[in-house]
Amino acid sequence: MEKIKRSSIFVICFCITFIGLSCSKEIQVQKGLNFEDFVELQLGDVTFYAQIAVTKNELAQGLMHRDSLKANHGMLFVFEAPIKASFWMKNTQIPLDIAYFDELGRFLESYQLYPFDETPVISKSERIKYALEMNQGWFEANDINSYERLNLQAIEKFLKLKEY
């Protein structure tokens, strides 16, 4: 009889745990991704992880007030329409590289960014739709050049989840 009670308690606890996990997963899916989530992206043959900044506040915040960035992680800035982009390193202590891409995801140009340097780094092109900040040296170490393209499918999926 004692064995049956223990088995019943185990089954009930298992069911409650399973239902709880199922509900939390559903809530997570309904909420979708947010600015703090890293999304797996591709640039040419290179896989990397980036937070995606889209709103005015996210674009303004960027990587400010952080003291580190994991290897192979960065931030992708998505602009509403192609622009002549300008970035600076206000309140940013991580040495970074920035690359600018057109609306087809084509790599156009890249620059080094230095901690706390408030000198604007302006794109040459007026067709910038995406900007990608990574740890300094990342683009060179991964042999990223003008033939490389961002795979836009994951970015578009993220934007749909966020309903931008």
* pLDDT averaged per 10 residues in sequence order, the chain, 164 residues: 46 34 30 70 96 94 94 97 97 98 97 98 98 98 93 91 70
What is the predicted pLDDT for the residue at 146? 86
Rounded Cα–Cα distance for residues 134 and 21 (Å): 35
Give the up-direction half-sphere exposure of residue 103: CA atoms within 13 A in the CB hemisphere. 8
Return the H-helix or E-strand segment holding 10. helix 2-31
Rounded Cα–Cα distance for residues 127 and 125 (Å): 5
pTM of the model: 0.78
Smallest CA-to-CA distance from 103 within 85, 131, 129 is with: 129
Looking at the structure, give the CATH architecture of the domain made up of residues 39-162.
Sandwich (2.60)
Smallest CA-to-CA distance from 34 within 57, 53, 48 is with: 53
Tokens of 99: 């690359």
Tokens of 161: 């989840």
Tell me the backbone φ, ψ of residue 151, rounded to 5 degrees: -80, 110
